[in-house]
Structure 1
């Protein structure tokens, strides 16, 4: 059953309802058959989730505007020869979309007609424990203040629109509705040089990613332990916090999204909570890793309430704490200073991992890891000596090598000169307000 046959099934279901309600004809409900060609993602989803015929209708009602904008109007017009409104069917007009956009009222009419008891049962398709909600497939948009809940638009998640129409899911893009950006790395675990206690903490996260589902379900720990895993990475800039998050995603085959806090935090009352709600709603039931960099800008210590602004700032922190605690995935907060994070957050972390500045042995390994294998070093350069004298982080070392490498290429050479390397080190010291004596 391909998409055209699916729409024909939906068309028949709507017509049958119209025949019953408007003409009094007792026509049988159409039957849905779970079959289709290989690669039909819509049918595969229906089959894997064992959707009932009614659930299939709800799913198709949400999908059809993305395939055939005139679908609903075409079906209804035959039953309204003189035109006019049809409020029982529900639906709204969009800003750009010229057809009818289905609402919860549309679902009620198609599934239950005007049978009050059956109409009341329709709300179960939008409850939190239903597969549509658990897998973030579709939902009812919140209507205007004071309007009936079922008058909200029926929204199919963009990822499922992609999956059912093109056969693949596109990654969400940074926008006002999704204030996060996917981050990746080409590096490997061997490129990350960390102390043993830091690596031990990271292995704890890997263990959770691997066995959390079995712990909750196989060991029946639902309700006894909180869902999700909350981690604080703290330590100086450039010590590997972001790279670690990327590598965790890479080796557990999970997408990592870095939250753009500048797009989340708003000076307007209530907007920060709204932005956070969009983020966590989108991330619900996804195997994503949420990475809050420079997290103390929003997870910082709560202030003494002196005015309305302080009151609402504290409410934002409380709301964020609530959403993080209820999120079932991995959330990583990164901060340069642990002391900046509100204690009410630190008590709720499953793990707190410190990223320290590398010692001499670690700096030697970092230099050797990142120096390009095709380049030669000036005979004056002794990596061990450079690592002993100059206390740099991994990020600093990469910047130094980039600077020296560009200087070398600009001279049509493959030999990195000591002067260029030292100049690169000096630039890194100056950026951090440190003084360095060139030797």
Structure 2
């Protein structure tokens, strides 16, 4: 079985007994390692059965990933401070009652957390003691190729240049901390540190009204999501293909670009995150790259679809560099482009105009899909789909006339119907009045600087 997993949003019951047993095993193992007189393998603690009662999230994770003992101990070392802040300090005090330093054990202090936090050095000591041969054999646990790091589950914090890499803290991804302690995983909140927000829809493909050629290209994206792994492995094209798939959606506002992105996620069972470009660029040098790297790492581990709306704000034609601020902004854009090209998943960029995108980047798209304003037949279908079943238009204003006369996007039509429906409800009627429809159309045209 391939060791690859991602925390699910489905809630599982958290059994404290499971966590108690896991911590007791870790505590006994550390005691055994710290006691210089107990070198006998006969006294080596034995892992208890953690499957007590209903399946707990930690137990399910261990079973699904088929963790060996070293991997399980590494996971428990990283989890322990989240469950018992003084876990390691208590153990050290028991073996050094008079105080003193114990550099072999590793560990660091946090800026807020007052207990000892385990490092890679802590893990090597607990797993192998001072046996150099055994310690070297365990280095693969911290390799970028190990599934812990590859799936962004557990990894070492970066250290200052010149310091041993294993002196970095053991970091357990917050999603897994939440999963093991509460049985659920919350969607990450939009912030400066995480410049993206999940988007979703209750609508279906049938609610989307687009020209047939546009729909055909969208189906091609679905095919890529469904068959990319087969193409890359079974058909042995992995070495020839660039990682991931990059698509440009372009067309006027309100023509279905965002809805299409959310529907692609809904029908391929992938979460869609819209990147907030206003939060991407940080005033602190280096923070932008750090936040973007975190976003793309998490998106890779969880198979997210990334959606960049109004992408020409960052991917538009570049202007002349006039000062240090411009140079740094260009550096940040270059870093973002690099991350997008390296991302082994689906990235969708949306723009009102294809010509707004820098040609140097446009060449990197696998597909460029046009979302035009709907024609009269498509507008008729949109009016019919958007009208509430419990409401009706005034008889003197047939929907065919509205569709043929007014060139509106799908979003504009929905706005007009909402406006008229609220007016009708305020009058306690189910008829959308002609005057309200005309006023709604006028307001939508006014937004675009047009006259009715």
Q: Give the TM-score category using the shorter length.
A: over 0.9
Cα distance per residue 1:60-112 (max 9 Å; x no partner) = 11111111112112222110111233332222222332322111221122123
Match of 1:57 among 67, 73, 83: 73
C-alpha change, 1:300 and 1:33, in structure 2 (3 Å) is farther
Cα distance per residue 1:388-432 (max 9 Å; x no partner) = 111110111111111111111111221110100110110011111
Residue of structure 1 in register with 2:359 after alignment: 343
C-alpha change, 1:163 and 1:395, in structure 2 (3 Å) is same
1:7 deviation in Å?
1.1
* 2:21–2:48 CA contact under 8 A, matched in 1: no
Match of 1:382 among 383, 387, 398: 398
1:33 deviation in Å?
6.0
Gaps of 5+ in 1: none
Residue of structure 2 in register with 1:30 after alignment: 45
Distance (whole Å) between structure 1 residues aligned to residue 18 and residue 309 of structure 2: 44
1:342 deviation in Å?
1.8
**2:21 matched to 1:5?**
yes
1:169 deviation in Å?
2.1
1:385 deviation in Å?
0.8
**2:279 matched to 1:252?**
no
TM alignment of 1:135-174, pairs within 5 A: 135-174=151-190
Match of 1:204 among 214, 220, 224: 220
* 1:299–1:345 CA contact under 8 A, matched in 2: yes
Distance (whole Å) between structure 2 residues aligned to residue 249 and residue 284 of structure 1: 15
* 2:393–2:399 CA contact under 8 A, matched in 1: no
Q: TM-score with structure 1 length normalisation?
A: 0.93
Distance (whole Å) between structure 2 residues aligned to residue 359 and residue 380 of structure 1: 23
1:121 deviation in Å?
4.2
Match of 2:447 among 411, 416, 431: 431
Please identify, of 314-323 and 369-378, the stretch whose mean Cα deviation from structure 2 is larger: 314-323
**2:131 matched to 1:115?**
yes
TM alignment of 1:199-348, pairs within 5 A: 199-348=215-364
Distance (whole Å) between structure 1 residues aligned to residue 187 and residue 113 of structure 2: 24
Please identify, of 156-165 and 419-428, the stretch whose mean Cα deviation from structure 2 is larger: 156-165
Match of 2:191 among 157, 160, 175: 175
SS in 2 for 1:381: coil
Distance (whole Å) between structure 2 residues aligned to residue 153 and residue 102 of structure 1: 6
Residue of structure 1 in register with 2:150 after alignment: 134
Q: TM-score with structure 2 length normalisation?
A: 0.91
Distance (whole Å) between structure 2 residues aligned to residue 299 and residue 368 of structure 1: 37
Cα distance per residue 1:348-390 (max 9 Å; x no partner) = 1121111111111100000100011101221121111111111
1:176 deviation in Å?
2.3
C-alpha change, 1:168 and 1:80, in structure 2 (3 Å) is same
- Paired residues in the alignment total 434
Please identify, of 375-384 and 167-176, the stretch whose mean Cα deviation from structure 2 is larger: 167-176
* 1:227–1:329 CA contact under 8 A, matched in 2: yes
1:240 deviation in Å?
0.3
CA RMSD of aligned residues (A): 1.9
C-alpha change, 1:300 and 1:30, in structure 2 (3 Å) is farther
Distance (whole Å) between structure 2 residues aligned to residue 227 and residue 30 of structure 1: 45
1:26 deviation in Å?
3.7
SS in 2 for 1:72: helix
Please identify, of 88-97 and 231-240, the stretch whose mean Cα deviation from structure 2 is larger: 88-97
**2:39 matched to 1:17?**
no
Residue of structure 1 in register with 2:59 after alignment: 43
Match of 1:69 among 71, 85, 100: 85
